[in-house]
Structure formats: structure tokens, C-alpha cells
Amino acid sequence: MNQQIIDNLEMNLKDYNSMSDKGLKEKFKIGFLTAVQVEGGGYVGGLLVTNHFGRPLEFQCTTPVKPNKSQEILYGPTLVPYMLSDLIGKTLVEKVNVKPHIVLTEQPELLSLRENISIPVGCISKEDSSNENENSSDEESSGETRLQFGKQNLRFHPSHQQDRQIIENNRNEMIEEADLTEPFERIRAALNETMNIAVAQ
């Protein structure tokens, strides 16, 4: 799983940025990170950075990252978190030019990315936000902290509980009814389009 196989396919939205005011880059920016499985057991990842209105600032993706049989055996159950966090996630965050204030993901395996970067990482909880109080005791026992952000609840890495406070301090930058799951649909569509183009070539 050599990192050299991760080629950065970068799409800077220069036209959009040139039309934006000078202060836009200083406003709250969110990175949406996800990875989809491809044929053969590998993954391809994508990172979309948007402003607090959900408008795209930059998008990057990787080529498929596939383990060989020996790596599957040696890494065992730690293989997927390693691929998603250490190879795909870390590489995309390092390569992105427009740095987000927070990275959001839908995949719990990507929470460990926080161990490799200085940016807070939040995972969108699958549970309804109305159940947040009911689950507070479970959070305390598991070491997790959660925060409602937009319409969703975020979970944070248990070793980085300060991330919750960092994001809570910037919660007013986010539209209250924002759907944080929608950008992931855009990323998956972009990844599928990229893969289709690669196959066609």
C-alpha cells in the first residue's frame, strides 16, 4: 500500500474564488471527507471543502487504494481504518489548499484521522438528534462527546474531547437547519463520475 499510488486529482474552483470577496477565505470552512469501496476491495476517497453556506471551495480525490493479500492478512481488522485514515484521509487533508476549520465524515473509521492531523474531526451520528439527551449516559461511559451541529449530531474522538468545544464556539457560523449529509452525496457522485471517466479512458 505505497502512498505513491495515491495520485492527487485536484480541482480548484478558481472561477468561484475569483468572484468571492477577499474575506471569504477567513470565514468558517468545512471539509466533508468520505471514501467509497471499489471493485477488488480497495477504496477511493474524496474531500470537498465548502464555506458555511455549503458552496464548494475545493475538491480533491484519490485513485483507488487497494491492499494486497499479505497486507489483508497482517493488518487484519485494522486494515480499513488504516487505509481510510492514514492513507486516504491524511493525504487529502495535507494536499488540500483551502484548509477547513473542521473535517466531517460519515464513517466512524475516519475518526482516527484526528490522531494524524491538527484539525478537529467530527463524525455524523446516525442517531436522531432528538435522542441526544437519552444517550448522554452512554456517551459518558464510552468516553465519547457529541454536539448538535446543523441538523445532525457529531461524535468526536475520545482522545480529543476539546474538539467539541472548538466547534461549539463556532456553531453560530453554521446555518441552524443545514443538512450536513447532503455534501457527501455530491462527493460520491463526483467520485463515481471520476471513476467512470477513468474506466472509459
Query: Number of folded domains in the chain?
Result: 1
pLDDT value at residue 26? 61
Domain of 90, CATH number, reads 3.30.2170
Kindly list the distances between the CA atom of residue 162 and the CA atoms of 63, 74, 124, 157, in Å, as whole numbers in the listed order: 33, 34, 17, 9
pLDDT at 66: 92
Taking the C-alpha atoms of 200, 181, 49 and 78 in order, what is their torsion angle to the nearest 10 degrees? -80
Q: Would you say 60 and 10 are in contact if contact means Cβ atoms under 8 Å apart? A: yes
pLDDT band at 198; cut points 50, 70, 90: low
> What's the mean pLDDT when you consider all of the chain?
79
The pLDDT, as a whole number, for residue 103 is 96
Distance between CA atoms of residues 155 and 191, nearest Å = 25
| Predicted pLDDT of residue 111 | 93
How is the chain classified by DSSP, letter by letter? Answer: --GGG---EEEE-HHHHHHS-TTGGGS-EEEEEEEEE-TTS-EEEEEEEEETTS-EEEEEE---B---HHHHHHHGGGHHHIIIIIIIIHHHHHH-SS--SEEEES-GGGGGGGGT-SS-EEEE-SS-GGGTTTTHHHHHHHT--EEEETTEEEEE-TT-THHHHHHHHTGGGS-TT--TTHHHHHHHHHHHHHHHHHHH-
For the segment 166-189, the average pLDDT, to the nearest whole number, is: 85
Domain housing 187: 3-200
Q: Tell which residue, 39, 37, 36, 58, has the closest CA to residue 47.
A: 58
Query: Has residue 130 got a pLDDT over 70?
Result: no
| pLDDT higher than threshold 80 for residue 157 | yes
Q: What is the pTM of this model?
A: 0.78
The answer to whether 146 and 154 have CB atoms below 8 angstroms apart is yes
Decide: residue 65, CB within 10 A, 0-12 exposed, 13-18 middle, 19+ buried: buried
187-201: average pLDDT: 79
- Higher-confidence position of 194 and 154: 154
Whether the pLDDT of residue 129 is over 70: the answer is no
- pLDDT tens across 51-106, in order? 988 899 999 999 999 998 999 999 999 999 999 999 999 999 999 999 999 999 99
Alpha carbons 177 and 78: distance in angstroms, whole number: 36
Higher pLDDT, 142 or 117: 117
Does the structure show a pLDDT above 60 at 160? yes
